[in-house]
């Protein structure tokens, strides 16, 4: 059973030496357990945070432990009452070829609803993040102006499209002309800003003449500052993530102009998607409906390889090399 384990705590960008490529004996399922073969591994920016030994919403991955990851496995042997050989199951099984699980925290995949990888994306954690972050934390109302950063990514591409379903004006911020064209031409965004080549403050003035009602932040740093400078009255700033800061070796850069929250009577609120777990089922059903009727287009970036390709694939997120949800399909 090939596994990727954490060998060292990274400083700054994760390096190949921070991982151990290990071989472990395959385990047999005990009473009430099933064994499975990994088919798809999820790559998530949050993984960078799980490598640091500091308090967070989950304990850090321990040195020598199999890297934590969401994945889809195919059941190969089962003593579990709910699962049979051949079933596809999604759960937090880690970066390894074979798993044994008692089924806690797992969900059976219904392949008639969506392909298995989508249960790691639009119907999984990123989809739930977009849904609850925008609708609950962002308290979105019809007709508002929404700006989302990381807009061509897993969460961001869904945030923008959900906002369109809700009758809002949507501006996406992403890196590069191809991603920006995708947002406006394929995903129905009203405008896109290429933060690599444009002055984001100026572009927000152009595209949000009446200000931003909801700013959904995936990246932090200078882009957060630029959005804060353009808030409408009673705006909501949703702190979903700050990928521009995850590899920071020194202090995280905070917004220098947070007093715009005072002037605009706005609020800024962070959230962790896991707090909404009791409501995932209903939200995923609604999302599946939007996908089925064509109102939401699912973008996935599937890299085919082995678990040994996990470290290099993870780095793609920090270089902006993915479009939509990044997954590693084990072949």
Contact footprint for ligand NDP (CB under 6 A): 44-46, 125-126, 129, 150, 152-156, 174-176, 179, 218-219, 240-244, 271-273, 317-318, 320, 322, 326
Which of 3, 48, 6 lies closest to 23, judged by CA? Answer: 3
Minimum distance, C-beta of residue 112 to ligand NDP, in the bound complex (Å): 26
What 82-89 contacts at long range (C-beta under 8 Å, 24+ apart), as own/partner pairs, is 82/108, 83/34, 83/108, 88/39, 88/116, 89/34, 89/36
Minimum distance, C-beta of residue 222 to ligand NDP, in the bound complex (Å): 8
CA distance 252 to 262: 22
Whichever of 101 and 129 has its CB closer to ligand NDP, that residue is 129
Buried b (16+ CB within 10 A) or exposed e, 112-126: eebbbbbbbbbbbbb
Whichever of 3 and 129 has its CB closer to ligand NDP, that residue is 129
Whichever of 243 and 288 has its CB closer to ligand NDP, that residue is 243
Whichever of 80 and 301 has its CB closer to ligand NDP, that residue is 301
Q: Would you list the DSSP string of 158-206?
A: HHHHHHHHTT-EEEEEESSHHHHHIIIIIS--SEEEETTTS-HHHHHHH
Give first-to-last CA distance, the chain, whole Å: 14
Whichever of 210 and 275 has its CB closer to ligand NDP, that residue is 275
Task: Decide: 135 and 162 in contact? Cβ < 8 Å.
Answer: yes
The tokens for 42 are 């999820």
CA distance 131 to 286: 10
Whichever of 94 and 153 has its CB closer to ligand NDP, that residue is 153
The tokens for 67 are 């890297």
Minimum distance, C-beta of residue 176 to ligand NDP, in the bound complex (Å): 6
Point out which residues pair with 4 in neighbouring strands.
21
Whichever of 129 and 313 has its CB closer to ligand NDP, that residue is 129
Minimum distance, C-beta of residue 310 to ligand NDP, in the bound complex (Å): 15
Hunting for tokens 């933060």 — which residue is that?
195
CA distance 204 to 201: 5
Minimum distance, C-beta of residue 192 to ligand NDP, in the bound complex (Å): 10
Minimum distance, C-beta of residue 26 to ligand NDP, in the bound complex (Å): 30
Minimum distance, C-beta of residue 101 to ligand NDP, in the bound complex (Å): 22
Whichever of 109 and 326 has its CB closer to ligand NDP, that residue is 326
Minimum distance, C-beta of residue 233 to ligand NDP, in the bound complex (Å): 26
Residue 93 — φ and ψ, nearest 5°? -100, -10
């Amino acid at each position: 059973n090939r596994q990727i384990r954490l060998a060292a705590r990274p400083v700054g960008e994760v390096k190949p030496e921070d991982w151990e490529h290990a071989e472990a004996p395959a385990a047999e399922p005990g009473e009430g357990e099933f064994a499975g073969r990994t088919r798809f591994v999820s790559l998530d920016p949050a993984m960078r945070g799980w490598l640091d030994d500091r308090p967070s919403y989950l304990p850090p991955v321990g040195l020598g432990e199999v890297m934590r990851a969401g994945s889809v496995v195919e059941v190969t042997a089962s003593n579990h009452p709910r699962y049979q050989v051949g079933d596809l199951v999604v759960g937090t099984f880690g970066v390894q070829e074979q798993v044994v699980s008692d089924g806690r925290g797992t969900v059976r995949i219904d392949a008639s609803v969506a392909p298995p990888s989508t249960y790691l994306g639009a119907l999984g954690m990123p989809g739930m993040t977009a849904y609850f972050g925008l609708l609950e934390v962002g308290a979105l109302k019809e007709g508002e102006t929404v700006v989302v950063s990381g807009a061509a990514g897993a969460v961001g591409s869904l945030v923008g499209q959900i906002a369109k379903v809700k009758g809002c004006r949507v501006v996406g911020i992403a890196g590069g002309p191809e991603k920006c064209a995708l947002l406006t031409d394929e995903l129905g965004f009203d405008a896109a800003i290429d933060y690599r080549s444009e002055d984001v403050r100026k572009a927000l003035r152009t595209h949000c003449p009446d200000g931003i009602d909801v700013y959904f932040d995936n990246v932090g740093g200078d882009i957060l500052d630029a959005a804060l400078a353009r808030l409408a009255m009673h705006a909501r700033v949703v702190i979903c993530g700050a990928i521009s800061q995850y590899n920071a070796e020194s202090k995280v850069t905070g917004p220098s102009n947070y007093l715009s929250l005072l002037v605009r009577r706005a609020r800024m609120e962070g959230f962790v998607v896991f707090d909404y777990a009791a409501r995932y089922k209903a939200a995923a059903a609604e999302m599946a409906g939007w996908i089925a009727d064509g109102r939401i287009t699912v973008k996935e970036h599937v890299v085919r390889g082995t678990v040994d390709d996990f470290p290099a694939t993870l780095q793609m997120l920090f270089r902006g090399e993915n479009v939509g949800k990044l997954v590693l399909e084990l072949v």
